[in-house]
């Protein structure tokens, strides 16, 4: 696979090239004061010159003062939204002369090209692959969409205050899982991109972009950017100790402290790139037709574990404990890895600013005090 330098003019050809090859291009764009993922037609749709100012429970767009294409981190929408939609019809039921007709929903034929995917999000895709594609039972909708997708990763040049991917070993450098990976370099009057291919499909696009071959100096520039980003990571997380801290403190008073703040709004699970819980509903109308739909669900919902009219986890503290211990501890038992990639979305988009990196420290501190 090759690595090359392209200027902004050549890079601007990337999105049209992907569209010409039949992809629906999904990338970051500004919408109503937030950087979100949406269909894009050209690099002009990217959040050029914008970054975010974010912290626990806060988010605001800020002008950078330059023309950086990827000078931001991540917004609330993840590629999961397209690979595993929030609401999806599974089958429809209609009347015919011969009786009821059950018609499974066809797999979406679109081929997605995701532009600007960060290392933590690529890692999240790998986790979702284990959930939906690698087990005994596979999800055809997700698996087909994933197999047909094209990933343009971006090595992060900035880190948000809520980022902790370095602690989780999932970033800020894209190491695998991409077709192309891009590092944006802005130095004085210089604005260019290092483009590296990771697959044959990526190499095909890279060759079409042209540009010059990279040198050892270019590699050093890329390494310096990633090293600087890692040094400015906003949070840390004790990933290696998380399992023991959580499973040994299931009755800690810290959960009650969290419950006093938690709104059970489900924001953290909605923005999480790895949460996969769903519920199935059958919808009928007066004309006698029906549809079975699958929708995202959340362990923060009161009826998520409803059993014979009674919620198994009736308190916000117990529901938060379920979410945090599953994602950061029991996920290892199920899937062999953490369910967290350190993107920090759950911290940024929690309306009351609950911070899992702080709460796990509180759990550890409280357990030591108890001893």
> In the predicted model, what is the mean pLDDT of residues 96-114?
91
Binning pLDDT at 50, 70 and 90, where does residue 369 land? low
**Nearest residue to 318 (alpha-carbon basis) of 300, 295, 303, 336:** 300
> In the predicted model, what is the mean pLDDT of residues 44-58?
96
**Nearest residue to 242 (alpha-carbon basis) of 327, 169, 345:** 327
Query: What are the tens digits of pLDDT across the range 334-361?
Result: 888 999 999 999 999 999 999 999 999 9
Q: What is the DSSP letter of 43?
A: G
Binning pLDDT at 50, 70 and 90, where does residue 188 land? confident
Taking the C-alpha atoms of residue 327 and residue 337, their distance in angstroms, rounded to an integer, is: 9
DSSP string, 40-85: -SSGGGS-TTEEEEEETTEEEEEE-SS--SS-S---S--THHHHS-
Q: Taking all residues of the chain, what is their mean pLDDT, rounded to a whole number?
A: 93
Q: Strand locations in 42-189, DSSP E?
A: 50-55, 58-63, 87-96, 99-104, 111-118, 150-154, 180-187
- Indicate whether 41 pLDDT > 70: yes
Position 252 scores a pLDDT of: 94
> In the predicted model, what is the mean pLDDT of residues 14-21?
97
Query: What is the bridge-based pairing of β-strands 290-296 and 278-284?
Result: antiparallel
Phi, psi for residue 308 in degrees, rounded to 5? 55, 45
Query: What are the tens digits of pLDDT across the range 221-256?
Result: 999 999 999 999 999 999 999 999 999 999 999 999
Position 248 scores a pLDDT of: 94
Contact present, 47 and 30 (Cβ < 8 Å): yes
Position 314 scores a pLDDT of: 74
> In the predicted model, what is the mean pLDDT of residues 282-286?
87
Position 352 scores a pLDDT of: 96
Query: What are the tens digits of pLDDT across the range 61-87?
Result: 999 999 999 999 999 999 999 999 999
Position 206 scores a pLDDT of: 96
Question: 194 — alpha (psi -120 to 50), left (phi > 0) or beta?
Answer: beta
- Indicate whether 370 pLDDT > 70: no
* pTM (predicted TM-score): 0.93
Position 103 scores a pLDDT of: 92
Contact present, 91 and 102 (Cβ < 8 Å): yes
Position 316 scores a pLDDT of: 84
Binning pLDDT at 50, 70 and 90, where does residue 184 land? very high
Position 253 scores a pLDDT of: 93
Binning pLDDT at 50, 70 and 90, where does residue 371 land? low
- Tokens standing for residue 146: 């994933």
Q: What is the percent of the chain where pLDDT is above 70?
A: 99
Dihedral, CA of residue 248, residue 368, residue 344 and residue 132, to nearest 10: -10
Binning pLDDT at 50, 70 and 90, where does residue 289 land? confident
- Mapped onto helix, strand or coil, the DSSP state of residue 31 is strand
Sorted by sequence, the CB contacts under 8 Å of residue 215 that are 6+ apart come out as none
> In the predicted model, what is the mean pLDDT of residues 198-206?
97
Query: What are the tens digits of pLDDT across the range 123-153?
Result: 999 999 999 999 888 999 999 999 999 999 9
Position 144 scores a pLDDT of: 96
Sorted by sequence, the CB contacts under 8 Å of residue 89 that are 6+ apart come out as 105, 291, 292, 293
Position 122 scores a pLDDT of: 98
């Amino acid at each position: 696979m090759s690595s090359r330098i392209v200027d902004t003019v050549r890079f601007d050809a990337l999105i049209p090239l992907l569209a010409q090859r039949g992809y629906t291009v999904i990338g970051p764009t500004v919408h109503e004061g937030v950087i979100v993922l949406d269909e894009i037609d050209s690099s002009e749709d990217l959040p050029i010159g914008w970054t975010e100012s974010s912290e626990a429970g806060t988010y605001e767009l800020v002008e950078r003062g330059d023309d950086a294409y990827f000078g931001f981190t991540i917004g609330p929408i993840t590629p999961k939204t397209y690979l595993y939609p929030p609401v999806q019809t599974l089958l429809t039921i209609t009347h015919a002369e011969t009786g009821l007709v059950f018609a499974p929903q066809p797999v979406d034929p679109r081929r997605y090209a995701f532009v600007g995917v960060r290392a933590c999000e690529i890692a999240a895709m790998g986790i979702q692959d284990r959930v939906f594609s690698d087990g005994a039972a596979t999800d055809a909708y997700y698996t087909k969409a994933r197999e047909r997708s094209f990933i343009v990763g971006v090595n992060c040049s900035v880190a948000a205050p809520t980022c902790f991917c370095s602690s989780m070993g999932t970033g800020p450098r894209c190491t695998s899982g991409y077709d192309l990976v891009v590092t944006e370099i802005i130095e004085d009057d210089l604005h260019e991109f290092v483009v590296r291919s990771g697959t044959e499909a990526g190499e095909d696009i890279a060759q079409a972009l042209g540009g010059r071959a990279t040198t050892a100096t270019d590699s050093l520039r890329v390494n310096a950017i990633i090293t600087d980003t890692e040094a400015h990571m906003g949070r840390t997380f004790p990933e290696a100790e998380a399992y023991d801290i959580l499973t040994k403190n299931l009755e800690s008073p810290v959960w009650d402290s969290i419950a006093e703040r938690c709104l059970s709004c489900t924001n953290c699970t909605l923005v999480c790139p790895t949460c996969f819980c769903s519920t199935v509903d059958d919808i009928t109308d007066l004309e006698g037709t029906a549809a079975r739909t699958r929708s995202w669900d959340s362990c923060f919902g009161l009826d998520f574990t409803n059993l014979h009219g009674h919620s198994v986890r009736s308190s916000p503290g117990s529901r938060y404990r379920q979410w945090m211990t599953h994602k950061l501890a029991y996920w290892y038992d199920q899937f062999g890895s953490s369910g967290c990639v350190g993107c920090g979305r759950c911290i940024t988009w929690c309306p009351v600013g609950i911070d899992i990196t702080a709460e796990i420290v509180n759990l550890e501190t409280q357990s030591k005090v108890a001893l």
